[in-house]
Amino acid sequence: MTDWTPYTMRARAWFEDLRNQICAEFEAIEREAGSDAAFRYTQWNREEEGNPDPGGGTQGLMKGKVFEKVGVNISTVRGSFAKEFAGSINGASAEAPGFVATGISLVAHMTNPHVPAVHMNTRFLTTTKAWFGGGADLNPPLPYAEDTHAFHNAMRAACDPHGADYYDRYSKWAEEYFYIPHRKVGRGVGGLFCDHLECTDDASWEANFAFIQDIGRQFLASFPAIVRKRMHTPFDAADEAQMFEYRGRYAEFNLVYDRGTIFGLKTGGNIDAILMSLPPRATWS
């Protein structure tokens, strides 16, 4: 059986570095808007009875002029799933509930309705199996076709070096995953979603890790450019009302269907970090 510990540490280091790059870029955007907003970092420790080293993470939160609320979280946790939950996780079971997980999770809700909200999450997990998963998706209250095109082009650029069918497969998966069944609408305009990219040896781990890194790099290359393009667009009360209603749909998805939210709640994660995805203001009609 492969000892995945060194691989987990490499993935963790990448997620931490990506967090630093993203937060620096978002703070730079705030400076360009005349704001001194900065991320506030809060460390948290996971607790699990009988586990001397359950891990934890760091929640990064910023509330500014451009980013009404943005959270960029990293964590590395280890322990055992509850027996009733273990069977729903790839490679885990009631008889083998152990896991290690490391990842980054980001959600940004913007002040200007013309600037899209966004989500990005990538992770590496080990149970009796080892795999990567995650993706990124754009969530505009007021969609612009050119922004959607630019974001999808970036996601395609992340995919193409790794598989000719990756973009078609994982953009379709995002379309299916980021869907609100009770509303019969998508959460946004899509992006990428993948899961269970299994690693069986060094070569498959390196290949999957390179793909996950490219998702992060392309997110960083594309989303800040969209923010800078739209952040000075004038908006009115009607635009804001549409944004608040849209945020309500976003909250519904994250609380009812999102796998990351469910995973965090089922594994004793930090509640504030798990629910940082919820918007600061929203409406329901």
- What is the residue whose two structure tokens read 């990842």? 103
Distances (CA, A) of 167 to 8, 160, 207: 26, 7, 16
Is 119 in the active site? yes
Do 77 and 267 contact (CB within 8 A), yes or no? yes
The catalytic position among 109, 114, 119, 152 is 119
Sign of the alpha-carbon dihedral angle for 166, 167, 169, 170: positive
Torsion from C-alpha of 5, 7, 10, 15, nearest 10 degrees: -100
Q: Which residues pair with 179 in a beta bridge?
A: 186
Active site residues: 119
